[in-house]
A and B are shown apart, each in its own frame.
Chain A
Amino acid sequence: MLRTIASRLGTALPSLAGVVVVTFLLTRVLPGDPAAYFAGPVASPEAIAQIRAELGLDQPLLAQFARYLGDLARGDLGVSLTTGQPVLADIAARLPASIELTLLGLLLAVCTAVPLGVLAALRQGSWIDHLCRLVTTAGVSLPVFFTGLLAVYVFYFLLGWSPAPLGRLDSFMSEPARVTGFFLVDSALAGDGETFRAALAQLLLPAITLAVFALAPLARITRASMLAALSADFVRTARASGLNGRTVVLRYAFRNAMLPVLTTLGMVFSFLLGANVLVEKVFAWPGIGSYAVEALIASDFAPVQGFVLIMAILYILLNLFIDLLYGLVDPRMKEG
């Protein structure tokens, strides 16, 4: 197992190197003066010249890159002009909010999409198959920010079931003592049921919005790969050998059908991390997505660069995790 992890890490390294090079190039090679970007829109020429010297922009490109790598190794992503804080500290403070939202969204999506896809494949042409088709077609066509706004209108304005879409907790409630940064986990650890319920109420609507978005590709691929598995020779053999339907479906067909679903999960993560930015904007969610959007509007470049880098690293780590999971589900992959 350790060797598998090591070899997977080896394959992730080139991606990581590519990501670092691209985030570097985004600022240095493109037209425009990076010093002016980093200085912000209202800086004087002297301030820009000073920043240029500070950033080492008067040096050759390779020296600049070495310096950038050194900064990264020390965890220095620059300073945000809007908040006045180091970018890494800002991102670290806001990251749990984004991760809590994304993971809950993904969990909801997987828990709905997989049973839906499997049932649609088992009962082809039934109402559940049509439901599956409707969900997959609607899910890919709906802009995620639009779904979010519709959800706010229906569940907050019309029905009043959900609290106002303004962040992680009502402003009159105090945050739970920070252990993990996930409000659900922290309030549960503190045994504070009221905060837990309030945090969940705030979290549910944005998470469902993300789930609707991630549902479509997952349900589609589950249905397709389950259909393929059910018509495979080994399932026919299993049935012919007299195994009962439940064993055939769950142990033989389902486990094989999960492999393409895991592969799709990587792509879904890519979409989810992007959609997260939009959902955070709709629900005023204090995560790193809304942080990056605020910085973008203010032409404050350091936070945006840090955000792109952190998101890419997260995405690479998630893909690594999926690869490892793949090895667990499919023993054949261990050798390869």
Chain B
Amino acid sequence: MDAPLPLTAEAEPRPSAAIALLRHARYVISGNVVTAASFVLFFLLLLCAAFGPWLAPYDPLASDTMAALQPPSAAHWLGTDHLGRDILSRIVVATRLDMGIAISSVALVFVLGGLAGVAAGYFGGWTDRIVGRLADTIMAFPLFVLAMGIVAALGNTVTNIVIATAIVNFPLYARIARAEAAVRRDAGYVQAARLTGNGEMRVLLGTILPNILPIMAVQMSLTMGYAILNAAGLSFIGLGVKPPTPEWGIMVAEGASFIVSGEWWVALFPGLALMLAVFCFNLLGDGLRDIVDPQRRT
């Protein structure tokens, strides 16, 4: 009945590193319902971002004044706004723009802040001082206020919202990358890389950077939520995205004037979409951290 015990260790080959990571990821996800839910939500967001225009039941820009400000019904699941546009369609189509803004700003700061921080931590000296001073100066501002100022100065466009959100997040990324690089500067494998004749830049980019990437990826997911909120806040006060483009922040702003007269659905549903997206990325970040860095698991 019992299978014979393997006599040697080779009988069961060790799984490769990638498979081990996947197994660990499956273990973390299956052990934590919330993380699993956040992954599902994440794929839903990706789906809406990729295929939004085909998924939406109506044209997000088509107005129908006969059907203006209708509460949720069978025809319009989430109701219609003051121009009779279908709110569900607008929310679904807006996913691409909102995700696009957040992802590009996070990617931008990931490259800029990550590289600056790694260089600061690895080289020290004046590189460190310049990056540190830059980060301190940005941190001296209330971040949303600085983002407003940057958009005002650069010009009121979506691209500039991406840039402003990236600049505001710069200190966070630079500091994390700096700390992680400083810790590894004199680690054994880094010294080995140096001793085998690699140049400083090669050690930095080829040996240290790949080791820091997982921790930075967690940070990316955690700041995605903040990036979404920041961009939506800017468009809520009328910056960047212009009507009639569907975008969650501006949709909430358009719905704001109908709240006092009781038409709650115009602002509520885009706001809920925002909340779910932020919630998803926060949970995803926690889940990723558990996968990448089991010691910090809470």
Q: Is B a genuine binding partner of A? A: yes
Q: A residues within 8 Å of B by Cβ?
A: 14-16, 18-19, 21-23, 26-27, 30-32, 37, 137, 140-146, 149-150, 152-153, 156-157, 164-165, 269-275, 277-278, 281-282, 292-293, 296-297, 299, 301, 304-305, 307-308, 311-312, 315-316
Q: C-beta contact mask, B238-258 vs A, less than 8 Å → 1, else 0? A: 110000000001001101100
Q: Closest chain B residue to A272 by CB distance? A: B142
Q: A26-B152, A146-B252, A153-B268 are in contact. List 14 more A-B contacts (CB 8 A).
A: A18-B140, A19-B137, A31-B154, A32-B155, A142-B275, A146-B267, A152-B260, A270-B139, A270-B143, A274-B147, A277-B145, A296-B148, A297-B238, A311-B145
Q: Is B52 an interface residue (CB 8 A)?
A: no
Q: Closest chain B residue to A310 by CB distance? A: B145
Given contacts A26-B149, A296-B148, contact A149 B259 (CB under 8 A): yes
Task: Report the minimum CB–CB distance from A1 to chain B (whole Å).
Answer: 25
Say which residue of B151, B225, B252, B276 sits within 8 Å of A145 (CB atoms): B252
| Interchain CA distance A277-B149 in the complex, whole Å | 13
| Interchain CA distance A305-B274 in the complex, whole Å | 29
CB pair B140–A312 under 8 Å, yes or no, is: yes
B147, B237, B274: residue with the most chain A Cβ atoms closer than 10 Å: B237
Q: Is B72 an interface residue (CB 8 A)?
A: no
Say which residue of B151, B260, B274 sits within 8 Å of A156 (CB atoms): B260
| Interchain CA distance A299-B152 in the complex, whole Å | 8
CB pair A296–B152 under 8 Å, yes or no, is: yes
CB pair B236–A145 under 8 Å, yes or no, is: yes
Q: Closest chain A residue to B142 by CB distance? A: A273
Instruction: Kindly list chain A residues whose C-beta atoms are within 8 Å of the C-beta of B237.
Output: 277-278, 281, 293, 296
CB pair B136–A146 under 8 Å, yes or no, is: no
CB pair B148–A18 under 8 Å, yes or no, is: no
CB pair B149–A141 under 8 Å, yes or no, is: no
| Interchain CA distance A18-B148 in the complex, whole Å | 18
CB pair A149–B255 under 8 Å, yes or no, is: yes
Nearest first, the 3 A-B pairs at minimum CB distance are: A274-B144, A18-B137, A146-B271
CB pair A146–B259 under 8 Å, yes or no, is: no
| Interchain CA distance A149-B257 in the complex, whole Å | 9
B141, B154, B268, B278: residue with the most chain A Cβ atoms closer than 10 Å: B141
| Interchain CA distance A200-B150 in the complex, whole Å | 35
| Interchain CA distance A297-B152 in the complex, whole Å | 9
20 contacts between A and B (CB under 8 A): A14-B136, A22-B141, A23-B149, A143-B271, A143-B274, A145-B253, A146-B267, A149-B255, A149-B271, A156-B260, A271-B144, A274-B145, A274-B233, A278-B144, A292-B148, A296-B148, A296-B151, A308-B146, A312-B141, A316-B140
CB pair B279–A141 under 8 Å, yes or no, is: yes
Instruction: Kindly list chain A residues whose C-beta atoms are within 8 Å of the C-beta of B282.
Output: 137, 140-141
Instruction: Kindly list chain A residues whose C-beta atoms are within 8 Å of the C-beta of B253.
Output: 145
Instruction: Kindly list chain A residues whose C-beta atoms are within 8 Å of the C-beta of B156.
Output: 296, 299
Q: For chain B, residues 105 to 140, give those with C-beta under 8 angstroms from any C-beta of chain A.
A: 133, 136-137, 139-140
CB pair B145–A307 under 8 Å, yes or no, is: yes
Q: Is B153 an interface residue (CB 8 A)?
A: yes
Instruction: Kindly list chain A residues whose C-beta atoms are within 8 Å of the C-beta of B39.
Output: none
CB pair B142–A270 under 8 Å, yes or no, is: yes
| Interchain CA distance A14-B129 in the complex, whole Å | 13
Main secondary structure of the interface of B (DSSP, over half): helix
Instruction: Kindly list chain B residues whose C-beta atoms are within 8 Å of the C-beta of A308.
Output: 141, 145-146, 148-149
Task: Report the minimum CB–CB distance from A157 to chain B (whole Å).
Answer: 5
Q: Is B264 an interface residue (CB 8 A)?
A: yes
Task: Report the minimum CB–CB distance from A320 to chain B (whole Å).
Answer: 11
Q: Is B210 an interface residue (CB 8 A)?
A: no
| Interchain CA distance A26-B155 in the complex, whole Å | 11
Given contacts A152-B260, A274-B142, A296-B237, contact A143 B149 (CB under 8 A): no
A141, A164, A277: residue with the most chain B Cβ atoms closer than 10 Å: A141
CB pair B143–A164 under 8 Å, yes or no, is: no
| Interchain CA distance A31-B143 in the complex, whole Å | 22
Q: Is B88 an interface residue (CB 8 A)?
A: no
Instruction: Kindly list chain B residues whose C-beta atoms are within 8 Å of the C-beta of A278.
Output: 144, 233, 236-237
Say which residue of A18, A149, A156, A274 sits within 8 Å of B136 (CB atoms): A18
Task: Report the minimum CB–CB distance from A329 to chain B (whole Å).
Answer: 22
| Interchain CA distance A281-B152 in the complex, whole Å | 17
Instruction: Kindly list chain B residues whose C-beta atoms are within 8 Å of the C-beta of A19.
Output: 137, 140-141
CB pair A311–B279 under 8 Å, yes or no, is: no
Given contacts A141-B282, A143-B232, contact A269 B239 (CB under 8 A): no
Q: Closest chain A residue to B266 by CB distance? A: A149
CB pair B229–A143 under 8 Å, yes or no, is: yes
Instruction: Kindly list chain B residues whose C-beta atoms are within 8 Å of the C-beta of A16.
Output: 140
Q: Is B262 an interface residue (CB 8 A)?
A: yes
Instruction: Kindly list chain B residues whose C-beta atoms are within 8 Å of the C-beta of A277.
Output: 144-145, 148, 233, 237
CB pair B259–A15 under 8 Å, yes or no, is: no
Given contacts A145-B233, A146-B274, A149-B252, contact A137 B146 (CB under 8 A): no
Given contacts A30-B153, A149-B259, A165-B260, contact A315 B275 (CB under 8 A): no
Instruction: Kindly list chain B residues whose C-beta atoms are within 8 Å of the C-beta of A37.
Output: 153
Task: Report the minimum CB–CB distance from A308 to chain B (whole Å).
Answer: 4
